[in-house]
Amino acid sequence: MPKDTTKPAKAPARMITMEHNTKSRGQHFLCNPLIIQAIIDKADIKSTDIVLEIGPGNGALTAKLIEKAKKVIAIELDTRWAAELHKRFGQGGASKLTVINQDVLKVDFPYFDICVANLPYQISAPFTNKLLMHRPLFRSAVLMYQREFALRLCAKPGDELYCRLSLNTALLAEVQHLIKVGKNNFKPPPKVESSVVRITPRGTPPPINYVEWDGLIRLAFGRKNKTLGAIFRQKDVIDILCRNYNTHKTVVGGAAILPAFNPAAMDEGDDMAADAPKKLGNFGPGGFAKPAKKGAGAGADDAMTEDGGSMATDEAKQAILQVLEAAGMDQMRSAKMDVDHFLALLNAFNMRGFHFS
């Protein structure tokens, strides 16, 4: 039997280009209308709301958002998909859609009330950080993430996946897991399962030095199975705090509050341990103690040597353990500690002149 030499018909060049572009950018478009409607319902969009959509792609979710909101601002990196959105929904004038054809990580967000997004999963961490630091505060965000990332984001003290990501996010927002989404609800299907979460920002971020905060929790979560007493008895930890103490005590005026840390860049998940009651400690003016300066305040005096010279390692060890015992945290473990615990711990160390940056 002769071979069939007929070549299969080629797809239109534009379709090939769009498919290749979709794969190259890691785009997986949600195609299940029931899931799309569920996301719209969970977003609780009002007719007066301005909605920010990230990565609208083919516009399946955009169409539903336009029906509900006063205005939709869509940020789309791909020029071809941006053109498709213009063609389908219009742009400017009577249209309720504005398309910003830029990289979401580089563009300044406009004002919005609600954020809805089916994110490319490779930008989950930096996008979450940028969203949490956005001002003015938005009402809420309903976002699609890779399942594991979403569960870490939502984890509470004592949960198996509780980690620095969970704690850092809880510092600035409340996170609720909404929907599990299987891979077959996307086209093309991704290799991982997905989840939809709601992020609701807290009113006012605590006035802390975020670099110090990050230094503390990196130290604490590096050995989550150990008690804080065991962690802070280690020579390398004592040496760092002693060196920081001797540096900070000579700084006049204390350190300024520093800009944003990255709450979404932490991905550890450690074992859990025993629970403990909350202990907020003694907060200074403005809610938190300023870094100690030489000769200023009881906290600085308590930690300094009698002659005002540099603190020795042995003295530092005793002072560090006294801080933990006075705060009632020497037997506590990071896996069971919430935001209030860590804020109190940072404050207690700062009041004694110890710093983590």
Task: Give tens-digit pLDDT for 123-144.
Answer: 999 999 999 999 999 999 999 9
Top CATH class of 21-201 equals alpha beta
The position carrying tokens 């989950």 is 124
Domain boundaries along the sequence of the chain: 21-201, 210-351
Q: What is the pLDDT of residue 95?
A: 81
Pinpoint the alpha helices (H) of the chain: 13-24, 33-43, 60-68, 79-89, 124-132, 147-154, 164-172, 210-221, 228-231, 235-248, 297-303, 313-327, 339-351
Q: How far apart are CA 239 and CA 184, in angstroms?
A: 53
Q: Is 85 in contact with 76 (CB distance < 8 Å)? A: yes
Query: Chunked in runs of 10, what are the mean pLDDT values of the chain (357 residues)?
Result: 50 38 61 95 97 94 95 95 91 80 96 94 93 94 97 95 94 96 92 96 88 94 90 93 85 40 42 27 29 35 45 90 95 96 95 92
Q: CA 220 → CA 7, 153, 352, distances in Å?
A: 63, 18, 18
- The CATH architecture assigned to 210-351 reads Orthogonal Bundle (1.10)
Residues 6+ apart with CB under 8 A from 130: 104, 105, 109
Q: What is the pLDDT of residue 268?
A: 39
Q: What is the largest CA-CA distance in the chain?
A: 102
